[in-house]
Structure formats: C-alpha cells, structure tokens
Amino acid sequence: TVQAEKRGFQAEVKQLLHLMIHSLYSNREIFLRELVSNASDACDKLRFEALDKAELFESDSELKIRVAFDKASRTITISDNGIGMSRDDAIAHLGTIAKSGTKEFFSKLSGDKQQDANLIGQFGVGFYSAFIVADKVTVLTRRAGLAADAGVKWECSMAGDEAGEYTVEPYTKAIRGTDIILHLRDGEDDLLSGWKLRSILRKYSDHIIQPILMRKEEWNQEKAENILSDEEETVNQANALWTRAKNDISDDDYKAFYKHISHDYEDPLAWSHARVEGRHEYTQLLYIPKRAPFDLWDRNTQHGLKLYVRRVFIMDEAEKLLPHYLRFVRGIVDSADLPLNVSREILQESKDVDTIRGGCSKKVLGLLEDLAENRKEDYTEFWGQFGRVLKEGLGEDHANKDKIAGLLRFASTHLDSPEESVSLKDYIGRMKEGQEKIYYVTAESFNAAKNSPHLEVFRKKGIEVLLLADRIDEWAVSYLTEFDGKEVVSVAKGGLDLGKLEDEEEKKKVSELAEEFKPLVEKIQASLGDKVKEVRVTNRLTDSPACLVVDEHDMGANLARMLKAAGQ
C-alpha cells in the first residue's frame, strides 16, 4: 500500500488558520455556511461541466448535499456529490491560498481581533473555517469522471491551534464528490444535535439551490432521546432565491444569499432585486457591499456578476455584465435568452449581454441615487469606500455620465475641510447671483488645493470652488465639461472669465494696468523665452505676485505631472 504523504502548508495558510480560530470564534457557526457553500459550488461546477459531458453524472444526476453527525465519534460530516477533487486539486486548493493579493492582505492584519475579523471576513474564510470547531479535518474526495480508486484522503490535525502539515493518500471512493469530516474540539459537543445543526442551516444556508438532506429523528421513549431514523428530509428551501416572489423573501434571506455569493462576512449595504421583461428577459439581484474588498485595485483580479441561464450556473465573475467602474457590485444575473453553452468569448460579442449590462448599470446607479436621497449616512459610507471607483465612470460610461456626476461628492471652499460631502446640486444651489459656471481646482493634496493662489479672487468674491486632490480627479473631470447646463471649469486654465461676476470697473482697471505694465511684461516674456507661452497681467490674484496657468485647451498641470511621473 502507498504511504500517506506529509506536506507542509503555505506560510499564509498557517497564519490564516491561527488568526481565524482566535478572531472568529465568537462566530463559530459560519463553518457550516462555508462548507455547505463549497458543496453547493461543487455541485454547480459539475452541472456546468456536464452540459457537454453528460457521462460525468455517472448515472446519478440528482445533486445533493448531506449533513450528518455522530455522537459516538464526535464528528460532523458534510457530503456532496458534486465535482470532487483530484489529488492535485486537493493539494492546490486545500494547502495554499491561491487568491491574488494574499501577501498584501496579510501585511494589513493588525493583531486587533475585531479589525482582523473584519478583514478576514472580506478575504473569504472558506474551507479553513472548519478549524474553528474541529481540531482534525478529514477530506475524502474523488473527482467526477475519474475511477473509484483515484480518490484522495486529505487529513490535517492541529495541536492546540497550530497546524504545520497535512497528509494526502490514495483512497477508493465509490460515489464521486466530497465528504468533509470534522472531528470536533473539546467543548463543541452542543453541535452534535440535529436541532442545532438544522437551525444553523436554516439561518445561513436556506437559499442554497441543492437540497440539504439530514436524517429524520424520532423520539424514543425508552432511551428518552431522539433516535436517528433511516429516512432523510430536506432542511432548506432548496430553490433559487432570485426566482422566488419578492414578498416571500425576508431581509435575512437576502443577506444570507449575499454572504454566500460574495464570501463577505458583513451584511450588504443595499440591494436591488428585479425581473426584467421585454426583448430580453432576465432576473437581476445586485448588491452593494459595505466595504471595499482588499483587491479592489488589483488589476489581475476578476470582478463581476455570477451568470446563470435558466437557473443553471454558467460562470463566476462574468465581467461583461457590468462596466469596470461598477466592479464593486456583487450579485447574479439569470438570463432566459442566452444559450446554455455560452462562453466568455460569446459574451464578449453578444448584443443580449450589452442590453443586460445597460440594465444592470441603470439599476445600480438608481440604487445609489436612492441611497444618496434617502439614506444619507449610508451614502457617505458608500462614497468613502467606493467614490474613487465611481469617478472612473465619467470616462467609461458616457450614457450615464449625468447620473454619475450627480452622485459625485467633493470637498470645496464652502466647508474648507477635506471631507467630501458637496454634490454638484448643492454647489449649484449656492451659486452667486450672476455666476454661470462651476469652478474647481486640482492639486496633489487637499492642502495644496485649499491654499492654491488660483483661489484668491474667488475667495475675495465669495465664490465656492471645488477642491480636487485625488489622483484620478483631473482625468475624471476632463470628461465632465458640464452639469445641469452649467460649464464645469478649472480656475487654473485660460484667461479667467468670471462673466457677469466681474464688474466693469475692475475690467477697466485691468486693461489700464496691462497698458501700464506692458514694458515689464515684455521684459519678463523675453527673459523666460520658450519656457512660457504668454505673460499676462491678471486680476485673479490678490496676495500672490504671480501664478502659472495653462491654456484653455491644454492638459492640466497636475495631469501633466502625473504623465511625466509615469514616464510619458
């Protein structure tokens, strides 16, 4: 016989295990949610692969999840007849963390329990959460399509909360799929109860599409306890949540479903569930998370919605279903029209998908408008987490530019604080008599913006100016030429035209001064030579002697600096 092979965990896994046990213990029930969620994913994957390879079903196409417990051996077992794992799969998936950005993630952990618990939640606790309640975990698995003796037994024991190694060995498994056997830690015996497990399953896993089966129990008078019967029953609703009528779905159902699809550990901030009819028929269930995921800015991470076609899971992270700037949205789209064998390549080309993407974008922006209007505090929270991403939409989504512009929040000279709370609508409401334009200044930091010499004349006249200090602001506002019929202009560009705000007397004075200082201006122009385009006398300054401005149609100075820094 082949010996069990010992293998070491990736360093990050050890760290994660240790942290998880300590920081998530107060939430120990999530282990069941995670393992059932994996079982359900495994069934989805099999169903999808079997679309064009029916033999993978091995004449057993009823996908199921089973949860069982055994008081004598103190174990809980979660089984599925999904896709299963080969030996290589088990080593790759249960011994390492393959997610991109893992290193960065670990560098953010602080040692503070609550804070780390939140971070770990965002990262997705997954399979390893088994170790919150178990000190030994045995996985018996066989991949669909492989021979019975190509199964694997994976096992890991922990002493205290340290796990250094796990073993893998060959195993013969007649039924494809995976059994996860949890050997409970001391003190976890209350989980060895049908009542307890059912209540956890109903709380966290009611929405799982596959039936979750448990053995029925019968009261035994003689022994004065419940005895397991041979009959099984389904303990969850076992239908796709999004196909149910909205009235039949509770907020808790929506939240549990969100956690299942997003791997988030917190509740979502908001959601929208709608069935769209018409030329294309589809259901959308879209969520806005409370917190930005750790990999929001990681270029290699895929983002997007889960795609289903007539309730069959097709793919994760279908990035074509939403524009890139809405990559923080989680959720599902279930199309009634796309072909079941749709691939990423087909999605790229599909007109149906364009329609769906348009519909989803509108829904998300509508949901945000509703938050901004009716749940202001939540919107502030949203803006703090995702505002920078939303700004990308100005350049990316022309059709919805006005909606996006309405959702933007800025710092401005009105409060002179870095807090971004001013909307363009607020700004317009405060515009001075005779003011026709929306003014902004961009700089490398809030302080630089606030103290910009370009603001002097505006401060003197009491005109509000938006203070933009984000790296992407200058790029983003270059797409925002107007809002609500008002031109949006930089205070640092071109000849400052204050329109009706300028009084005639002042204009006269400037032209007189220009005349008077003509020789000086010519001198300065001559000595600066090619370095400047033009030297002018201005009324835009009150305290500073001089400032640089760029021509109306030229690149802003900040953007020029950015491009230079990027080596362009």
Shortest CB 124 distance to ligand ADP, Å: 5
Closest contact distance (angstroms) between CB of 90 and ligand ADP is 8
As measured in angstroms, the least distance from the Cβ of 336 to ligand ADP is 28
Point out which span in 30-38, 251-259, 287-295, 421-429 binds Mg ion (CB under 5 A): 30-38
Residue 93 contacts which entry, ligand ADP, Mg ion, none (Cβ below 5-8 A, type-dependent): ligand ADP
Cα–Cα distance for residue pair 168/171, rounded to 1 Å:
9
Please enumerate in sequence order all residues whose Cβ is within 8 A of that of 513, keeping only pairs 6 or more positions apart, or say none.
537
Sequence-distant (≥ 6) Cβ neighbours of residue 69 within 8 angstroms? 75, 76, 77, 191, 192, 193, 194, 197
Q: Which does 298 bind (CB under 5 to 8 A by kind): Mg ion, ligand ADP, none?
A: none
359 makes contact, choosing from Mg ion, ligand ADP, none, with CB < 5 to 8 Å by partner type, with none
Which 3-state string (H, E, C) describes 526-554?
A: HHHHHHCCCCCCCCCCCCCCCCCCECCCC
> For residues 448 and 504, what is the distance between their CA atoms, to the nearest angstrom?
32
Helix (H), strand (E) counts: the chain: 19, 19
Should residue 126 be labelled a site residue for Mg ion when binding is judged by CB under 5 A?
yes
Q: Provide, rounded to whole angstroms, the least separation between the CB of residue 323 and ligand ADP.
A: 25
From ligand ADP, Mg ion, none, interface partner of 82 (C-beta below 5 to 8 A by class)? ligand ADP
Considering the complex, state which of residue 45 and residue 196 has its C-beta at the smaller distance from Mg ion.
45
**Interface region with Mg ion, contact rule CB under 5 A, candidates 45-53, 121-129, 289-297, 487-495:** 121-129
Q: Measured from the CB atom, is 143 or 454 closer to ligand ADP?
A: 143
Least Å distance, CB 70 to ligand ADP, is 19
**Which region among 33-41, 186-194, 199-207, 208-216 touches Mg ion (by CB under 5 A)?**
33-41
Kindly determine how many residues on this chain lie close enough to bind Mg ion according to the rule CB under 5 A: 2
Q: What is the DSSP string of 335-381?
A: ESSS-TT--HHHHHH-HHHHHHHHHHHHHHHHHHHHHHHH-HHHHHH
Count Cβ atoms below 10 Å from residue 78 Cβ, excluding itself: 22
Cβ–Cβ < 8 Å for 185, 133: yes
Name the minimum Å distance from CB 195 to ligand ADP. 25
- Residues 501, 443 contacting (CB under 8 angstroms): no
Chain residues that interact with ligand ADP, rule: CB under 6 A: 34, 38-39, 41-42, 80, 82-85, 93-94, 124, 126-127, 178, 263
Residue-wise burial string across 206-240, b where 16 or more C-beta atoms lie within 10 A, e elsewhere: bbbbbbbbbbebeeeeeeeeeeeeeeeeebbbbeb
Q: Which is nearer to Mg ion, 38 or 86 (CB)?
A: 38
Q: How far is CA 281 from CA 275, 278, 352, 355, 434, in A?
A: 8, 6, 10, 10, 50
Given the complex with ligand ADP, which of 211 and 393 has the nearer CB atom? 211
**For Mg ion, which residue of 21, 30, 33, 38 counts as binding (CB under 5 A)?**
38
Q: To which residue do tokens 């370095």 refer?
A: 531
Q: Which of residues 400-419 bind Mg ion (CB under 5 A)?
A: none
The greatest distance separating any two alpha carbons of the chain, rounded to the nearest whole angstrom, comes to 113
414's contact among ligand ADP, Mg ion, none, with CB below 5 to 8 A by partner kind, is none
- The least distance separating Mg ion from the CB of residue 164, rounded to whole angstroms, comes to 23
561: β partners: none
Among 383, 99, 125, residue whose Cα is nearest residue 264: 125
- Indicate the length of the chain as a whole number: 568
Interatomic CA distance for residues 208 and 291, integer angstroms = 24
In the complex with ligand ADP, which residue's Cβ is closer, 146 or 274? 146
Q: Which stretch binds Mg ion (CB under 5 A): 31-39, 100-108, 191-199, 303-311?
A: 31-39
Residue 33 is encoded by which pair of tokens? 């949610």
Nearer to Mg ion, 129 or 283 (CB): 129
Judged by beta carbon distances under 5 to 8 A according to partner kind, the member of ligand ADP, Mg ion, none in contact with residue 14 is none
User: Residue 83 touches which of ligand ADP, Mg ion, none (CB < 5 to 8 A by kind)?
Assistant: ligand ADP
Q: Which span (32-40, 210-218, 392-400, 415-423) binds Mg ion, by CB under 5 A?
A: 32-40
Q: Which helix (H) or strand (E) holds 87?
A: helix 87-95
Out of ligand ADP, Mg ion, none, what residue 284 binds, judged by CB under 5 to 8 A for its kind, is none
| d(C-alpha 540, C-alpha 17), whole Å | 61
* Closest residue to ligand ADP, based on beta-carbon distance: 126
82 forms part of the interface with Mg ion (CB under 5 A): no
Nearest approach in angstroms of CB 180 to Mg ion is 11
Q: How far is the CB of 261 from Mg ion (least distance, A)?
A: 11
Among Mg ion, ligand ADP, none, what binds residue 423 when CB lies within 5 to 8 Å by partner kind? none
Picked from Mg ion, ligand ADP, none, the partner binding residue 134 (CB below 5 to 8 A depending on kind) is none
Strand pairing category for 65-70 and 75-80: antiparallel
Amino acid at 289: P
Q: Which residues form the interface with Mg ion (CB under 5 A)?
A: 38, 126
